[in-house]
């Protein structure tokens, strides 16, 4: 049997190891935040935003950002039914209600028309999740937000490297949140970041991120409110700093892998891949295939075929409203249909050309 092809793994070099070792040896006392601050500054510069707060996860960044917006009991937050539960969890934790709407059939991101139709007097925010590096229709969503006075939150966990008409994903909404989980293009092992251009929102999140202790508070160990503990460690941030040195090549490599898949599979009928509409650049975090219903290719058939060839294949996100803790919303036809005939493809940084060919051969087998 040929060696296993994993769907993802991080790219860690001696640079990351050396930075982490330095943080472990010297990142204490008055240097305990040195790499964290450095990482925040590097990320702000890359994204083109004014403020950033490094966090222990993207979920934590979303939780604090939503809390800072005042989201709480009785409120509603609109988001696409196709998401990982991490996007919905902070809404529930804050006592608010997630309202699931359908996705577009081509980008697999939130349908702006369905989002607007779901707005009620209780709507407090709309979350735009840039799924698998694909970009939401931000012009339309921001216009809806302005029309109704509703903040647009960008969950850009999967969209490092994605650009929407010259603006990086995560930089356009009231705030953005990113993930640096070990599966992501840029990793700190676990971790995330909150970003915004709103100084008031930044101050609120900064306070919340430090157990509710304001940066303007002069009393030692005095909390101004009950906050959170979602800090990134200095050692994690050191790894992140090394990754930021390499961010250009990490993104470029993702796009090269995506281009190879797209070239190899272009001739197959009834197969759609991550779109890249004019004016956008897809960061290509997770190359994804969606098969048309008439191909009769299912998620289960794909998983079985890949497993037979010792290849990891990651399933498309289940609709959140299909989970037991939420009310079923089967009128979200795209969110319920697409995952049944879709698969994510292996795309780690050092995947070899012949390994991509092995993956593609499994797909060809369905059309032979």
Handedness of CA 57, 126, 335, 254 (dihedral sign): negative
pLDDT in tens, 27-83: 999 999 999 999 999 999 999 999 999 999 999 999 999 999 999 999 999 999 999
In the chain, list all ranges with CATH 3.90.1150.10: 248-364
Mean pLDDT score across all residues of the chain: 97
pLDDT on residue 313: 87
Mean pLDDT for 336-342 is 98
Confidence category of residue 242, pLDDT binned at 50, 70, 90: very high
Supply φ then ψ for residue 321, to 5 degrees: -75, 0
Name the CATH code of domain 14-245 (choices 3.90.1300.10, 1.20.140.10, 3.40.640.10, 3.30.2320.50): 3.40.640.10
Q: Which residue has the tokens 């190899």?
A: 264
The DSSP code for 53 is: E
Contact 146, 155 (CB under 8 A): no
Is a pLDDT exceeding 90 seen at residue 196? yes
Going across the sheet that includes 280-281, the strands are 167-168, 163-164, 280-281
pLDDT on residue 282: 98
Q: Which residue has the tokens 């490297």?
A: 161
Confidence category of residue 307, pLDDT binned at 50, 70, 90: very high
Can you give the C-alpha Rg of the chain in angstroms?
21
Q: How far is CA 4 from the centre of its chain?
A: 26
In the chain, list all ranges with CATH 3.40.640.10: 14-245
Name the CATH code of domain 248-364 (choices 1.20.58.100, 1.20.140.10, 3.20.20.70, 3.90.1150.10): 3.90.1150.10
Q: 3-class SS at 159?
A: coil
Is a pLDDT exceeding 90 seen at residue 121? yes
Mean pLDDT for 210-229 is 90
Supply φ then ψ for residue 120, to 5 degrees: -130, 175
């Amino acid at each position: 049997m040929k060696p296993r092809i994993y769907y993802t793994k991080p790219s860690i070099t001696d640079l990351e190891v050396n930075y982490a070792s330095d943080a472990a040896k010297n990142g204490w006392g008055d240097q305990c935040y040195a790499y964290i601050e450095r990482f925040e500054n590097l990320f702000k510069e890359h994204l083109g935003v004014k403020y950033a707060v490094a966090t222990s996860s993207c979920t934590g960044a979303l939780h604090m950002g939503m809390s800072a917006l005042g989201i709480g009991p009785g409120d509603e937050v609109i988001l696409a039914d196709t998401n990982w539960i991490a996007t919905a969890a902070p809404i529930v934790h804050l006592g608010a209600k997630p309202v699931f709407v359908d996705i577009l059939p081509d980008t697999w991101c939130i349908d702006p028309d369905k989002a607007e139709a779901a707005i009620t007097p209780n709507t407090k925010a709309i979350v735009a999740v840039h799924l698998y590096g694909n970009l939401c229709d931000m012009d339309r969503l921001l216009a809806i937000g302005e029309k109704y006075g509703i903040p647009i939150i960008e969950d850009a966990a999967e969209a490092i490297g994605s650009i929407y008409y010259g603006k990086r994903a995560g930089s356009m909404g009231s705030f953005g949140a990113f993930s640096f989980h070990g599966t992501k293009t840029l990793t700190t092992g676990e971790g995330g970041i909150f970003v915004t251009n709103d100084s008031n929102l930044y101050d609120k999140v900064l306070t919340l991120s430090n157990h509710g202790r304001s940066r303007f508070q002069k009393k030692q160990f005095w909390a101004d409110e009950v906050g959170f503990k979602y800090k990134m460690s200095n050692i994690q941030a050191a790894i992140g700093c090394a990754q930021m040195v390499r961010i250009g090549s990490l993104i470029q490599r993702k796009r090269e892998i995506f281009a190879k898949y797209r070239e190899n599979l272009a001739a197959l009928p009834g197969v759609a891949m991550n779109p890249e509409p004019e004016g956008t650049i897809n960061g290509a975090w997770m190359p994804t295939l969606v098969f048309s219903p008439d191909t009769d290719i299912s998620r289960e058939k794909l998983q079985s075929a890949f497993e037979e060839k010792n290849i990891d294949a990651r399933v498309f996100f289940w609709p959140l409203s299909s989970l037991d803790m939420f009310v079923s919303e089967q009128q979200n036809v795209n969110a319920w249909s697409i995952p049944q005939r879709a698969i994510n493809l292996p795309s780690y940084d050092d995947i070899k050309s012949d390994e991509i060919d092995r993956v593609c051969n499994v797909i060809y087998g369905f059309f032979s």
